[in-house]
Structure 1
């Protein structure tokens, strides 16, 4: 085995964690893979013998690459300014892909990723690297161009926003599924009262339709219930799935995905619904959902 092959083998032992870091930073599996590939290119051009902690070095490199990608995304204004949902990780209800399990090892639900999307790039980096992957602030500081103390403040601001904005989901997946099934049944039947009963009074529903038309945010049980009845036809083609490890659905008609719906169930009621209907992004997803 030559030096290049040996280095590639060492890199592969860190790929899973690097992809997890990049997914939390970018909210996109395809962009995460691009960031990991860029980290490999930078490693292959570096003096690897001078790197004492390869895993730590690669993690900060991926963080730097993701930071640049986030800043570039913002400067080009590629994304809709009102609602942008992260790319969901979808699995069948009974089988979870091992790679998906690794990506979601610390219960990264879609609701958390939605809040991460609202953070400034440097805040997101500080929070993800420190709070999720235990990277010391002294190692993060050079990446964001701040002192360790200032970097700690970035993570603290991000943490406060996340703690105040992300509902804590019920841990019991069966309880989540009961609430989601009740929501779909009520939507199919046009039962407004039953919909309101399964929704948290302060429920938030977001939809991301991509660049063709603006997304939307609907708040409150009555408003969300009314919207669910309006789009009851989608409930007719809903199939159960796991979306970022939580109870969700994929709506498929004519062999094509129309939407992915992620639910956050708290105290037996639905507190948050995130709906991706952007056809371009749906076409890129690996939707391993049973036909029945």
Structure 2
């Protein structure tokens, strides 16, 4: 299943579908149910002088103050909504794949037993932990959610927000202080889902991210440096993504293709490849969802078959 969506704020403007409708309908229903959840609310007016207020988004609540010392981006609500919808669809797809492999009656290898487990999620740039908490609360069947940040203030805020959402589901979120790149490099093929949503370019995280995703897992990646990707500065784009952009009406689609090509180039270096699931341009950023697999020894023996 490969989709390309164009969003403007919360409205679906353009959809190109080239595959059967059933998985598309499942994803759309998942997104609709996510969007129906309570939207982000403004902090209470009682929050003055830096005192904590409560912000509600979906089923999660977080503490926020007037200084926004731990960054909360209200404009990314749709980003988090569609990520939850994709995660729900991904888990359903994993169950289907597991059932198919069981019906085939093949040997019960390690990959099959891993597929039966609840998917383990890594949020590489956690900040307040809102995204990780929403995943734990709103995605049924999800496993542990590791929330990493290299800012001590952010990790403390994440712990407070987990406590605020005191429930069995929110306890799945495990905050961790450290460098996301180092953590991903030291945990190869350990996570079924890796979420990258940096402020700016994700280029510095991609090489470690493609190594961290388990076989058949999904990498969710955002890029907000649209001026670079859309042709505003071709030299910077080449230094970060290895591609020269052109300015034109198609600049947003080109930005998606540049990001996908960059992820693919990192994956191939480690004998892996990607399968794009959804590519989205929304407001001021792009976001792609790709599954990552390891190349089989047969394909590696005949490299000319990789790029027909």
Structure 1-normalised TM-score?
0.29
Which protein is richer in strand relative to its size?
A: 2
When normalised by structure 2's length, the TM-score is: 0.28
More helix by share: 1
Q: Larger RCO: Structure 1 or Structure 2 (Cα < 8 Å, ≥ 6 residues apart)?
A: 1
